[in-house]
Amino acid sequence: MEVAIFKDSKLASQAAANLIARTMIERSGKLVLGLATGSTPLDTYSELVRLHRNGKLSFKSVRAFNLDEYVGLSGNSPHSYKTFMQTHLFSKVDIDPRHCHIPDGKSLDPRGECLRYEESIRSAGGIDLQLLGLGQDGHLGFNEPSSSLSSRTRLKTLTESTRRTNAVHFGSHDEVPHHVLTMGLGTIMEARRCVLLAFGEKKADAVARMVEGPLGASHPASILQMHQNCTVILDETSASQLKRQDYYREVFSGKPEWQRWDLPLD
């Protein structure tokens, strides 16, 4: 696990965008990209949009798969993750709408929809780079504590704490759906590279447990310790409880330039 600590979330988000952009360019744009929602990746998406508008980046050959969607919400709902992605990324770049995949929260057959989604990922050749956020309780996607570490895309019931956290995006706590369709931890772990973003003091405990704590289902993100190519991108406050901060900084600053994925493209 590579841990990169930046002064603030803005710089960290720009570095994450540079990592994604460099990976796209190395693959001549032919990238299967796993995407996350929520406030954490917003600045990264803004930077990717800026690079696209400056002619540095094309999404024409990118295929995108989102982590999750609320059950019961249509893609046209202002609260759906499909709308979120359209608003913050898809509508602002040249990606083919047919290549934007998000679980169908309105499916009358949720189990069948999850199986279909898994098959779509396999048919695309698997996810090359999966962008992730981190819940304060250590969840990845909507894999809440006690989730199977080998789980696949499936229907999950949200905890009350997660619903309260997400209520900020709805009119009230009562409007937050109780269920979601989410990629499982086993699905996430099959991505060729995972890139996790975590910012702010409220994430510090979850970050420390993910990076330096024991591996276990009680803290789902700890499974990333087993991933062969995982990069964790933090700001100083989210890294504040890491016991080996100095070591992570030394290793990252000592990388040869050809390994530096954070250097700007322009």
- What pLDDT sits at residue 159? 86
Residue 75: per-residue pLDDT: 86
**What is the pLDDT at residue 205?**
98
How is residue 226 annotated by DSSP? G
Catalytic residue (choose from 43, 47, 104, 144): 144
| Contact between 128 and 190 (Cβ < 8 Å) | no
The active-site residue out of 104, 128, 137, 190 is: 137
DSSP 160-220: HHHHHHHGGGSSSGGGS-SEEEE--HHHHHTSSEEEEEE-SGGGHHHHHHHHHS--BTTBG
Q: Find the radius of gyration of the CA atoms of the chain.
A: 17
144 is catalytic: yes
Task: State which fold the 9-192 domain adopts.
Answer: Rossmann fold (3.40.50)
Q: Respond yes or no: is residue 246 known to be catalytic.
A: no
Q: Of 68, 128, 235, 262, which one is the catalytic site residue? A: 68
68 part of the active site: yes
Instruction: Please give the chain's pLDDT, 266 residues, in tens.
Output: 999 999 999 999 999 999 999 999 999 989 999 999 999 999 999 999 999 999 999 999 999 999 999 999 988 898 999 999 999 999 999 999 999 999 999 999 999 999 999 999 999 999 999 999 999 999 999 999 999 999 999 999 998 888 888 888 787 888 888 999 999 999 999 999 999 999 999 999 999 999 999 999 999 999 999 999 999 999 999 999 999 999 999 999 999 999 999 998 87
Q: Please report the pLDDT score of residue 86 as a whole number.
A: 97
pLDDT at 45: 98
Report CA 223 to chain centroid distance, whole Å.
Answer: 15
Q: Cα 164 to chain center, whole Å? A: 20
Per-residue confidence (pLDDT) for residue 167, from 0 to 100: 83
Q: Using CA atoms, how far apart are residues 17 and 105, in angstroms rounded to an integer?
A: 28
- 137 is an active site residue: yes
CB 124 within 8 A of CB 32: yes
Q: How far apart are CA 82 and CA 70, in angstroms?
A: 10
Q: Which of 52, 88, 139, 227 does the annotation list as catalytic? A: 139
Q: Where is 50: in which H helix or E strand?
A: helix 42-53
